[in-house]
Amino acid sequence: MKISIIGGTGYVGLTTAACLAFKGHTVYSVGRNIEKINKINNGIATVYEECLSDILRSAISKGLLFATEDHQKALMNSSIIFICVGTPSKEDGSIDLSQIKTASEQIGESLKKKKDYCVIVVKSTVVPGTTEEFVIPLIEEKSKKEAGVDFGVCMNPEFLREGSAVKDFLYPKEQGIVIGELDKRSGDSLFKIYEDFDAKILRTTLRGAEMIKYARNSYLAKDISFANEIANLCRKLGVDYNEVKIGMEMDSRIGRGRFLNAGIGFGGSCFPKDVKALIAKAKSVGVELGVLERTLLVNEIQPLLMINMLKEFFKPIKGHKIAVLGLAFKKGTDDMRESRSIPIIRALQKEEALIYAFDPQATARSKEIFGDEIYYALTAEEALANAEACLIVTDWPQFSNPKLYNHMKGRIIIDGRRILDPENLSSSFVYRAIGFPE
């Protein structure tokens, strides 16, 4: 099939483009930044994801993937057009649909001249009703064509996780695939792309598909905040939350919930934004989502608990050298959006600490936020060698090696991700962690 991906230079768009080309489709990855487009055409991924560069290079060498700025050319040649543009939060928590608006108008303009039937697939995360009430009317207005007659429409939420995006896209058995369809013809066209994927496929309405994405992310975010509240209580009561977690997971009704890890909370481009957007959407129709409001509140408190723990040792923190291990919102990515490292570093700056940060992938993106206000070490060892205390902020596997901390100048470790086992550290270290008894 010939496929266009609008937003093909971003995390979801580029992964979708490279993976569909890997499956043998001809893919136009449509972007708006010429520098990024050139990079992609030269086989360089514009985001960090394991294996992404490899499958990208292979697709380009087979002549199956083309990055372009030319919407018209790409869309005129495609039978399926994915919208993968960003839907960031606005001040009030609702989603900013400006990128969706532009993409829909561009599609409408192209459809005006296009003779063959094609299907528009919204993959961006949008609140229930957006595809029907916003995307379709814009395309119809610009193209002067009718949805369900001249072109088809689907909503296909993306469930990939940054850090394992390529694997999640190509092998979605754990996540499943959801196809929201305007009508059977639209859904049948999109189904052809996924029919050989080893995963359950649920076909539903456009609104149903939109809601499933929000319900899933909100459910998982709620689990994280629940785990964090219980862990905070455990710490005060002298109970190790990690044991409690194992005990909880023994109950098959709870199961091996990977979202029961306690720590400094969730970040990234999805959970915070999606929970806020669902709350805002619910408010607009007079419904209160109290559980989710509390979920966000707990998430704001968690990272600052690390600073409180630090204050036990430094009164004041001012002038002390603190290592921050990890900047990305989680391991396996360079994404800094809503990373918990941001409130932590801002709080350390407020306290006038001297910050030595290290992240194996996210330094460049971190510089877009902090500029040269903090010192970026080239290795974890270098950050630690300078530090009187260390805050573990991202769960990169290399930070779980206890030997790493022998490089530390000081002896205070505050583990925001519970990736160290204090039993494996020499007794000279002072270990603090969320959910670990005081």
The residues annotated as belonging to the active site are 270
**Alpha carbons 224 and 220: distance in angstroms, whole number:** 6
Only one of the segments 24-32, 312-320, 342-350, 374-382 lies at the binding site for ligand NAD (rule: CB under 6 A); that segment is 24-32
Q: How far is the CB of 215 from ligand NAD (least distance, A)?
A: 14
Contacts with ligand NAD by CB under 6 A: the residue count is 26
| Burial zone of 285 (CB within 10 Å; 0-12 exposed, 13-18 middle, 19+ buried) | exposed
For residue 412, the cross-strand partners are 389, 430
Residue with tokens 């990128």: 99
Q: Is residue 128 near ligand NAD by the rule CB under 6 A?
A: no
- Part in contact with ligand NAD (CB under 6 A); list of ranges 141-149, 156-164, 318-326, 421-429: 156-164
DSSP letter assigned to residue 88? P
Taking CB atoms, the residue at the shortest distance from ligand NAD is: 10
In terms of CB distance, is 160 or 391 closer to ligand NAD? 160
**Span of 10-18, 143-151, 230-238, 399-407 interacting with ligand NAD by CB under 6 A:** 10-18
Residue 82 has φ and ψ, to the nearest 5°, of -90, 135
| 10 binding ligand NAD? (CB under 6 A) | yes
Contact 94, 277 (CB under 8 A): yes
Task: Closer to ligand NAD by CB, 12 or 206: give it.
Answer: 12
The least CB distance from residue 210 to ligand NAD, in Å, is 11
DSSP helix, strand, coil percent of the chain (3-state; round to 5): 45, 15, 40
What is the contact mask toward ligand NAD in residues 251 to 290, using x (rule: CB under 6 A)?
------------------xx--------------------
Indicate whether 130 belongs to the interface with ligand NAD (CB under 6 A). Answer: no
Restricting to residues 67-86, name those near ligand NAD by CB under 6 A. 84-86
Nearer to ligand NAD among residue 91 and residue 423 (C-beta): 91
Q: Which phi and psi (to 5°) does residue 97 adopt? A: -95, 15
- Rounded to the nearest whole angstrom, what is the least distance from the CB of residue 125 to ligand NAD in the complex? 4
> 3-state class of 141 per DSSP?
helix
Distance CA 100, CA 230 (A): 39
Taking the complex as a whole, the smallest distance from the CB of residue 340 to ligand NAD amounts, in Å, to: 16
* Cβ closest to ligand NAD, residue 2 vs residue 32: 32
How long is the chain? 438
Contact with ligand NAD (CB under 6 A): which of 17, 19, 30, 182? Answer: 30
Catalogue the E-assigned strands of 23-174.
26-30, 65-68, 80-83, 119-122, 152-155
- 103 vs 135: CA distance, rounded Å: 9
Q: Which residue's structure tokens are 């020499």?
A: 426
**Residue 6 binding ligand NAD, by CB under 6 A:** yes
Binding mask 31-50 for ligand NAD (x = CB under 6 A): xxx-----------------
Q: Does 12 bind ligand NAD (CB under 6 A)?
A: yes
* C-alpha distances out from residue 130 to 2, 135, 323, Å: 26, 6, 44
Nearest in space to 309 (alpha carbons), one of 271, 263, 269, 369 = 263
> Restricting to residues 86-125, which ones interact with ligand NAD according to CB under 6 A?
86-87, 99, 102-103, 106, 124-125
- What does the binding site for ligand NAD look like in residue numbers (CB under 6 A)? 6-7, 9-13, 30-33, 84-87, 99, 102-103, 106, 124-125, 158, 160, 162, 269-270
